[in-house]
Amino acid sequence: MNAEQAVPGFQHRTVLLEEAVDALDIAGARAAGWYVDGTFGRGGHSRRILANLDANGHLLAFDKDMQAIAAAKTIADPRFAIVHGSFAGMREALGERGVGQVQGVLLDLGISSPQVDDAARGFSFRADGPLDMRMDTTRGMSAAEWLAVEDQRTIEKVIRDYGEERYAFQIAKAITARRAIEPISSTRQLAEIVAHAVKTREKGKDPATRTFQAIRIYINKELEELEIGLEAAFQLLAPGGRMAVISFHSLEDRIVKQFMAGKARLPQPDRRLPIRAIDLPQPKLKLLGKAKPSDAEVAANPRARSAVLRVAERLPETGGRA
């Protein structure tokens, strides 16, 4: 595990650093291949990947956060390049570089500690700040702008579906009532609205946690981009190539688990049909297991507690029809 300086006063600890990069198996001939770090953050995983590549290897990283892009530009390595954008566009970005296959893709989902700890970003209810929540502050609608115009039913659905919040109706009703009186423009305002709407609280968890999570996921289209990115990564992987994905909450992990399992599952044909074994569809991925942070890592970085790493390997085409 390592810690890099983010912006002044904010530290970021890369979660499952060794486990995730080791899972890519960057060794031998594979060390000369192309790799993707879909979520650069402050570069912990990228730097470890670069350390494992040989002189002919390449790493293309992605991030939507301009502070992450600034951090990436401090890496003076001709084997490395950064794209300001979502990992959902990795196929297009690699295609522009004449690359059709890669040996590994790493995705570290969610938000980074510098984003959470910087009150000006609006991701956290623990300090007052503008209600922004955009990972890419150069485009799109902020959380405050969205809450000002969206109808109550949609706000309720977002909070319920993306935050798994059972008081979604009460929270959405309270939001629409408050905005009729004054604009909801700060994190403290939203946290106070939620606190008054939620009647019972989970032990050790602020009542605003689920609502902030839901709005952040929705504003940044995180789950939609994850689904696109997983398919893009799968399509790019060369036979034997690996994808390693770190998720931090159940919605993300469910999508990753189901995607990998779906590609690894052997389709069961109708036994009544005369299909030769050679014509049967074959599994496309081999599941290599999952990992969680050690007790020592969680003790040093409590935010790592919910992390789950899942790894899969691209299988070669072996007859059959896709």
> Do residues 171 and 239 both lie within one domain?
no
- 14-28, 157-171, 269-283, 290-304: the lowest-pLDDT one: 269-283
What pLDDT, in 10s, does the model give residues 97-150? 999 999 999 999 988 778 887 888 988 888 899 999 999 999 999 999 999 999
| Domain CATH code at residue 153 | 1.10.150.170
Q: What are phi and psi of 274, to 5 degrees?
A: -80, 80
**Domain closes at, from 202, 219, 236:** 219
Q: What percent of the chain has pLDDT over 70?
A: 90
Binding residues: 43-45, 63, 87, 108, 115
| Domain CATH code at residue 40 | 3.40.50.150
Residue 194 inside a domain? The answer is yes
**Domain closes at, from 219, 234, 258:** 219
What pLDDT, in 10s, does the model give residues 191-203? 999 999 998 777 7
Q: Which residue in 219, 114, 130, 216 sits closest to 208, CA to CA? A: 216
What pLDDT does 111 receive?
82
Cβ atoms 135, 64 nearer than 8 A: yes
> Do residues 51 and 190 both lie within one domain?
no
Binding residues for S-adenosyl-L-methionine: 43-45, 63, 87, 108, 115
What pLDDT, in 10s, does the model give residues 259-313? 999 999 876 555 555 565 555 668 999 999 999 999 999 999 888 899 999 999 9
What pLDDT does 61 receive?
98
> Do residues 145 and 192 both lie within one domain?
yes
Residue 129 inside a domain? The answer is no
Residue 320 inside a domain? The answer is no
> Do residues 208 and 71 both lie within one domain?
no
Residue 191 inside a domain? The answer is yes
> Do residues 196 and 262 both lie within one domain?
no
Q: What is the mean pLDDT of the chain?
A: 90
What pLDDT does 34 receive?
98
